[in-house]
Structure 1
């Protein structure tokens, strides 16, 4: 088994999503001690957002800028890691009702026609449905199903949509909500998420 662990939070040791994703990885490695683990920290090693230079390169124009060449290679490496993985463990906090821009930049490198999806006469078809995705989700407030702010969730809803577009339907969300309300709410949310991790591990 190959496990890809991706973190995206910019808050370092204070990050709830990092804490939870690390614990999910530990649980996965206990179940699969021989697994091959690849770690990608998108806050520490950012992939650039797509630009006209990237588009030109995709259309066959060799980039003259060395930084663009290096970034295209980094994007290709990210895609190869993703394609090779059986299990993706993704730390994804909610920023301003959506996902971190670093995470969006990474996803943009995965959305490659012929690699993760294709268009057919009957509509788009995902090409990587043989993977499992576990999302460690953290949110300052409450945006879950049935909450008054549910319509503002463009974090988990987007992640389910884009990875579903790639064909991944085996998606589990380990969620810690309300972590910015108070220290007690934060602790309660983390404890609840840890219960979900324990259930997954069993």
Structure 2
């Protein structure tokens, strides 16, 4: 499966996801959980179910009731994408605290969850009533306290191998989470088939929707996501003096008049409150002053209202005799120390 082509769809049908949860060994999946609000279905490029999650609100408590990935696809990033979508949705719902019962606590700990006693979440779980509790099933009760902060990771780490750009981005995100506990991470995947180029037909449709101020139209999903972000990370390898063309297509989708910017008598006025945009790139050869991708990102960012920018880059990685490990380690050191 190409994880970059994974799509995550919102669903109001718990029964659509229940067989996946049951196959993963989750308990009490034969009935819709009390307080179920909606779920997410992760689908591969062929539309097959790769994972799912169910969100519950019980009184004033928010619960990640179920989350699972099909066995064959575990460890490929499906769970990461799902959990990021879930936590962004909880934040949109106004949650300040999210609880769960985890069979794999180490996974959730990486994203800011911590263990609590069961009596700290009364009425949310019924694990103690289950005959498997303490024997076949020994979950950890966990909680994450949410802030209002949101990071958007624009992932254009297109690669035919283990992406070095993605390695640097992952390190930056780990540092960000330590510095901003409780912030949630949203992901925008810049990938052909996931983002659509603006041809004549789509431009006409966009202009019509802008005139109608129909900002909830699916066409504006990426632009709304971008506008919500407090911090933005863009990861893109250095291609042809800039970046992969699919990132330009993504940008075409987020530059929307009266949504992410507006025209005034003095020029463009940005409508995005992002505090800082970070750009990470890797290059096989030297970049030097030909850093046109970063220049372009800063230009678009300023148009949309962003004023603070930072770049990390590792270059010369494919030059014969290059100390690749040393170059990457030096860049990682810069990232880890801000």
TM-score normalised by the chain length of structure 1: 0.82
Question: Which residue is equivalent to 1:175?
Answer: 313
Partner residue of 1:27 out of 166, 172, 175: 175
Question: Which residue is equivalent to 2:254?
Answer: 110
Which range moves more in the overlay, 5-14 or 173-182? 5-14
Question: Which residue is equivalent to 1:128?
Answer: 272
Question: Which residue is equivalent to 1:99?
Answer: 243
**Residues paired across the two proteins, number:** 183
Alpha carbons of structure 1 residues 76 and 183: separation in structure 2 relative to 1, 3 Å: farther
Extract unaligned runs of 5+ from structure 1.
62-71, 145-149
> Residues 131-163 of structure 1: CA distance to partner in whole angstroms, max 9, x if unpaired?
31111111222223xxxxx2x432111111111
* Higher RCO (CA 8 Å, separation ≥ 6 residues): 1
Question: Which residue is equivalent to 2:79?
Answer: none
> Residues 7-51 of structure 1: CA distance to partner in whole angstroms, max 9, x if unpaired?
112215521111111111111111222111112222376201111
Question: Which residue is equivalent to 1:6?
Answer: 154
Question: Which residue is equivalent to 1:68?
Answer: none
Alpha carbons of structure 1 residues 30 and 121: separation in structure 2 relative to 1, 3 Å: same
Query: Per-residue deviation at 1:130?
Result: 3.9
TM-score normalised by the chain length of structure 2: 0.50
Question: Which residue is equivalent to 1:43?
Answer: 191
- 1:14 is paired with a residue whose SS is coil
Quick check: which one's strand share is greater?
A: 2
Q: Is 1:186 the equivalent of 2:324? A: yes
- 2:185 is paired with a residue whose SS is strand
Extract unaligned runs of 5+ from structure 2.
1-148, 210-216
